[in-house]
């Protein structure tokens, strides 16, 4: 099969298109004919091997999985032992292991049936970012109707879904994004968009019941200041910091600060919950969640797609189109 292959850590030039063997599904897995795959910041981290702590889980000298990509939408072509949720021919979406390829293996528990009203490219941009946003808004964030919610990084994959899920829960959402992407954020339901290049939101007079900070760089103490007395800060990922730990120090400092305040300062590690992916499928089918497709690229343009992601040229998420 044709696949994007990464045999070392580095910049976009480590991503090559090559011919490799088709994987085989083990017990509890299915083999998918990939139609589309989403591109997210996590794939960039695994491409570069930064921060270095990620290499403890994904390979010290080189990636243990040479094919990048997690988001997937495709058709089931084979099922492993014990799989009874899906049949050959089912159209599904979810999380796979190496989705930048013509075929990919996925755990059956990380997939849901693709709604008929949703295209493969739309479905492919939902799983990783949608699940992370769901956990940030409903799990760690415990959003409630009537709350004032601030989403930092609102124009990205996770941010776009966080805005929509919070609005759907009855919250009043303010998004932080560049001016060029403000209209995109408003289209998702935000009542206000703050241009981070012109305004430091942490120095404003507004107070928020919930702040969802996605890949942010602002110090926790400054975000804590703009929370209501019993507000919640949820840190999702993080950039900046050193090459060893990246932005991890912000995540670790948040719960320590919570010990000395009534405000709840927290972070989480995203998990792939079957119930949550099924809920996202239902929301897509009902038209209550909009897939945030930014740009589409063929498999051969994966380097360009990754460069656009790093440069911040994409509102929403890029799609790697694979199959017909």
Distance, CA of 225 to CA of 242 (rounded, Å): 25
Kindly state whether residues 56 and 173 are assigned to the same domain: no
DSSP, res 278: H
In this structure, the answer to whether residues 137 and 112 fall within a common structural domain is no
Question: Are 75 and 174 part of one and the same domain?
Answer: no
**What per-residue confidence (pLDDT) applies to 105?**
98
pLDDT of residue 58: 80
Exposed/middle/buried for 81, CB within 10 Å: 0-12, 13-18, 19+?
A: exposed
pLDDT below 70 — which residues of the chain? 238-249, 324
Please check whether residues 90 and 163 belong to one and the same domain: no
Rounded CA separation 188/184 (Å): 7
Query: What pTM was computed for the model?
Result: 0.93
Residues 85 and 150 in one domain: no
Domain assignment present for residue 277? The answer is no
Could you give the CA distance from residue 315 to residue 299 in angstroms, rounded to a whole number?
A: 20
Same domain? 176 vs 213? yes
Residue 186, preceding bond cis, omega within 30 degrees? no
Q: What percent of the chain has pLDDT over 70?
A: 96
CA distance 289 to 280: 8
Do residues 46 and 146 share a domain?
A: no
Residues 6 or more apart whose CB falls under 8 angstroms from that of 260 comprise none
Residue 114 shares a structural domain with residue 84: yes
**136 in a domain, yes or no?**
yes
Give, rounded to a whole angstrom, the gap between the first and last alpha carbons of the chain.
Answer: 14
- Kindly state whether residues 228 and 164 are assigned to the same domain: yes
Pair (298, 235) in one structural domain: no
Question: What pLDDT does 243 receive?
Answer: 66
Residues 70 and 138 in one domain: no
What tens digit of pLDDT does each residue of 43-56 get?
988 898 877 777 87
Let me know if residue 275 belongs to a domain. no
Helix crossing, 127-134 with 157-168: angle to 10°?
A: 50
Query: CATH code at 316?
Result: 3.90.180.10
Query: Is 201 in contact with 194 (CB distance < 8 Å)?
Result: yes
Range of the domain at 37: 2-125+291-321
Phi, psi of 119 (to 5 degrees): -75, 165
């Amino acid at each position: 099969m044709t696949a994007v292959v990464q045999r070392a850590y580095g910049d976009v030039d480590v991503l090559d298109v090559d011919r490799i063997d088709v994987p085989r599904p083990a017990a509890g897995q299915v083999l998918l004919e990939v139609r589309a795959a989403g591109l997210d910041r996590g794939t960039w981290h695994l491409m570069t091997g930064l921060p270095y702590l990620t290499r403890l889980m994904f390979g010290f000298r080189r990636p243990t999985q040479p094919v990048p990509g997690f988001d997937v939408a495709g058709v089931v072509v084979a099922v492993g032992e014990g799989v009874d949720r899906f049949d050959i021919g089912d159209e599904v979406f979810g999380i796979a292991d190496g989705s930048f390829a013509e075929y990919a293996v996925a755990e059956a528990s990380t997939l849901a049936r693709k709604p008929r009203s949703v295209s493969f490219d739309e479905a492919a941009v939902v799983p990783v970012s949608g699940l992370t946003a769901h956990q940030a808004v409903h799990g760690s964030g415990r959003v409630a109707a009537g709350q004032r919610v601030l989403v930092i990084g609102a124009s990205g994959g996770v941010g776009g879904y966080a805005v929509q899920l919070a609005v759907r829960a009855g919250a009043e959402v303010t998004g932080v994004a560049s001016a060029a992407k403000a209209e995109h954020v408003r289209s998702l339901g935000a009542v206000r968009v703050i241009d981070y290049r012109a305004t430091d939101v942490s120095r404003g007079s507004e107070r928020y019941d919930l702040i969802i900070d996605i890949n942010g760089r602002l110090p926790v103490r400054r975000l804590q200041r703009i929370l209501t007395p019993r507000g919640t800060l949820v840190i999702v990922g993080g950039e900046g910091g050193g090459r060893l730990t990246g932005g991890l120090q912000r995540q670790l400092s948040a719960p320590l600060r919570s010990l000395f305040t009534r405000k709840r300062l927290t972070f989480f590690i995203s998990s792939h919950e079957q119930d949550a992916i099924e809920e996202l499928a239902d929301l897509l089918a009902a038209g209550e969640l909009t897939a945030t497709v930014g740009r589409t690229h063929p498999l051969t343009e994966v380097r360009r797609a990754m460069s656009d992601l790093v440069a911040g040229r994409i509102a929403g998420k890029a799609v790697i189109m694979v199959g017909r």
